[in-house]
Amino acid sequence: MIFLNLPVTDLAASRAFYTALGFSINEQFSDDASASVVVSDAIHLQLLSRDRFADFLPEGTATADPRTATAALYALTCDSREEVDAMVEKAVGAGGGTWMPAQDQGFMYGSSFTDPDGHVWEVLSMEPGNAP
């Protein structure tokens, strides 16, 4: 399993954003400072208030602001190009932002968005059999 811990500024807004994308919240592992987002059986996001996130860092370590610097790109796959476009459309409609224009490489199609805190998500549809 993969667990991504993401610092967020407004936990309620982040919960609303990720549930608008169709993901569920595991309330058992959520509280007033965190929300456990179930992306799939293998992928979970732990949205943490910036103060709660700082509890996991060595003393004196700053929490990065994804609006001013990109430290990671998270990628999810979809079954089709239409699903890629629909996911990006949902994200922007739910308060996310656009990031890079869609890219069509024939065997792979991708687009991207940011969540309300600026974390970058790439969304891909791949047909490996058509790769060069």
Domain of residue 94, CATH code: 3.10.180.10
pLDDT band at 124 (very low <50, low <70, confident <90, very high): very high
- Tell me how many domains the chain contains: 2
Contact 21/91 with Cβ under 8 angstroms? yes
Compute the average pLDDT of residues 2-19: 97
Residues 126 and 78 in one domain: yes
pLDDT of residue 27: 97
The answer as to whether 95 is a domain residue is yes
Average pLDDT, the chain: 95
Whose tokens are 């190009």? That residue is: 81
In a domain, 44, yes or no: yes
Q: How far apart are CA 7 and CA 102, in angstroms?
A: 26
Cα four-point dihedral sign 45, 51, 56, 60: positive
Asked if pLDDT for residue 132 goes beyond 80, the answer is: no
Whether residue 66 is contained in a domain is answered as no
Residue 14: domain span: 2-54
Give the count of alpha carbons within 13 A of 113, CB side only: 22
| Per-residue pLDDT tens digits for 26-85 | 999 999 999 999 999 999 999 999 999 999 999 999 999 999 999 899 999 999 999 999
pTM reported for the whole predicted model: 0.91
Question: What pLDDT score does 3 carry?
Answer: 95
Q: State the pairing for strand pair 34-38/24-25.
A: antiparallel
pLDDT at 127: 83
45 & 11 share domain: yes
Tokens at residue 25, please? 């919240």
Mean pLDDT of 108-124: 97
Contact 63/69 with Cβ under 8 angstroms? no
Based on the domain organization, do 78 and 113 belong to the same domain?
A: yes
How far is 98 from 115, CA to CA, in rounded Å? 9
Q: Are residues 126 and 81 in the same domain?
A: yes
In this structure, is residue 119 part of a structural domain?
A: yes
